[in-house]
Amino acid sequence: MVKYKTININGLNIFYREAGDVTKPTMILFHGFPSASHMFRDLIPELEDRFHLIAPDYPGFGQSESPDHQKFEYTFDHLSEIMEDFLKSLSVDKFYMYVFDYGAPIGFKIAVRHPEWIEGIVSQNGNVYQEGLGSKWATRQDFWDDPTEEKRNSYRTAFEPKTIIGQYKFGTRPNSVSPDGYMLDIAYTHGEGYDQRQLDLIFDYQNNIKDYPNFQKYLRDNQPKLLAVWGKNDPSFIYPGAEAFKQDDENVEVDLIDSGHFALETHAKVIAQLIKNFF
């Protein structure tokens, strides 16, 4: 049974889902953009017989508190610090982590600071290599190198309904994606201040790429068991990013799935079985 909880972390109410037996190994599920912990709604029931599962919403996402961007620093470093404090508050210091999209830099920043916490990693379209960056990142580099208000505002297209639906459906078979996930994501975009906090994070994403060498060093130094399971048709984080993990970690399995960015929408049962087989 999934429980829906809220905990106060540094003055912020953080929402999270929890399921499974607390005596079993813990797995932390770090969601991506523009989603929240509801992206794991199909995966959690498939894994709760084997893991104690915790899926938080970051500040500014989902059901967690969303402070004004002028009063709260929306950077990936800051979100990772909040998530680290979240884990400490729950007395979680040994866990597997499932990282997707934005969840990859957040999770890997925690892993760099606390390598002893990490029992293993599932990276589902969670990129930490230049090889995994799709063509859209070239235009973002132009924005990062020469930021203007006009360029910043152009990225409002990243959370338009058409874009969000495209993220879910691109690279999938016709009629295979439920509207539930993307319609909830679209609903969240109407929250007060949503645009500014997400634009802040889009600008800050450049610092995740600068951190890639640190993430790769963590892998080389610690050699965690890592399952790279990838929607191979994802145009944002392309599948060479999955293969690239083998450059630094000898304990890697790569599984390419015939799906897109949100592979859980079509292959939750398949991904769950791969996780159970690997760990």
**Active site members:** 261
What are the phi and psi torsion angles at 207 (to 5°)? -75, -25
Contacts of 189 (CB under 8 A, 6+ apart): 34, 159, 161, 164, 195
SS3 assignment for the chain: CCEEEEEEECCEEEEEEEECCCCCCEEEEECCCCCCHHHHCCHHHHHCCCCEEEEECCCCCCCCCCCCCCCCCCCHHHHHHHHHHHHHHCCCCCEEEEECCCHHHHHHHHHHHCHHHEEEEEECCCCCCHHHECCHHHHHHHHHHCCCHHHHHHHHHHHCHHHHHHHHHCCCCCCCCCHHHHHHHHHHCCCCCHHHHHHHHHHHHHHHHHHHHHHHHHHHHHCCCEEEEEECCCCCECCHHHHHHHHCCCCEEEEEECCCCCCHHHHHHHHHHHHHHHC
The tokens for 111 are 């892993």
Contacts of 175 (CB under 8 A, 6+ apart): none
The tokens for 88 are 């400490």
Nearest by Cα to 242 from 233, 250, 251, 253: 253
